Structure 1
Amino acid sequence: MVLAWDYVNDGSDPLSPHKPEPMRYVDDNELRERTGVVTRKLNADNYEEELNKICQKRGYSGSDVLEMHPDSEQDYNEKCEKYFTEHLHPDEEIRLWVDGKGYFDVRDASDNWIRMQVEKGDLLILPPGIYHRFSPKAFGQTAFKRIFTAEPVWVGFPRPADSHPARLEWLNMASQKFQGIQVV
């Protein structure tokens, strides 16, 4: 299970945990009902067979691996800033963490953040049109496999993108609590 909680915006550093008091985790079912995000834990040291089944079932064919490490990349800070800018994608996308950790935030239908602490073995399936952001900065380095329906192309639309067709479809699915979302 991916660790997730409602993000408490207290005005402090956005890369601190922002956990509620008392602590209450958002479970996988609630996360899916509020955001359409599907999660799964895979064996990150031996994931290929299981991941291939998921990709075949969902019609995915392209992938790449994004590595972010503060000591080995000149553009680490630029990448962190780029991916922490709130944005959406027009297509469903899968992310599988193969190393390190990070904070992955998604907006729910009430426009509130849900923060997930992702780590090695965590798989996220993001519906098209969901606003989200990511940063490994609180933990240092990370590496994750990005899986696409076609060739690996990262197309992000920064907020506001409320009139984007994918966003309108996401809002429609949210009004139905994401019933019919395909679970892995």
Structure 2
Amino acid sequence: MARRIKEEPSVHRKRIADAAEKLFITYGIEKTTVSMIAESAGYSKATIYVYFENKEEIVAYLVLNSMALLKKEIYEHTSKDSRHKENYYGVCEGIINYKKKYPMYFSLLQDVINVDFSAGKYFESEKDTYIQGEEINNYISELFALGDDAFVVIFTFWASICGILSMADKKTEYIEKQAKVSKKEFVQLELERLYRGFFR
């Protein structure tokens, strides 16, 4: 225990969050308890509450970290020197890679987020997640010079690509039977349709 006392709070928070992440993936967020997280991380339950207010704050911490990973994926696959179509497919590739690597976070990405930080109680990581998300959206807006229509176009794009990827996973057999194409081919066809509608 003496070793841990000397460590920075950020080290403890990361250790706890890493343990929680594994449990969330295995059992789901709802079924994972703080007691389970404490046991897995090697802390007492009381100590968990020293570093996180509750399980919801741990989730918020993990979502913030995942947002940074999404940002990294998108930035690595795009460039302000590239053409629109190259950047469009770069953004799509970044999102697809993110979904493959972090399916739990891809799902959480579509949940309700806190956007009002003027009053009331919120976790600092929620505010940071919002800021990161806006940075991603602003970057996409700049890539395609969207101007005044940026919010509508980007929001609709996110809704569309998330819907396509989620439905392709859930309806693979139906797609193959009705459209006579593989899931991957179907996704590519729909991404091309989106490009023609939004970014060409």
Fold shared per TM-score above 0.5: no
Which of 1 and 2 has higher RCO (CA within 8 Å, sep 6+)? 1
TM-score by length of 1: 0.23
Structure with bigger strand share is 1
Structure of greater Rg:
2
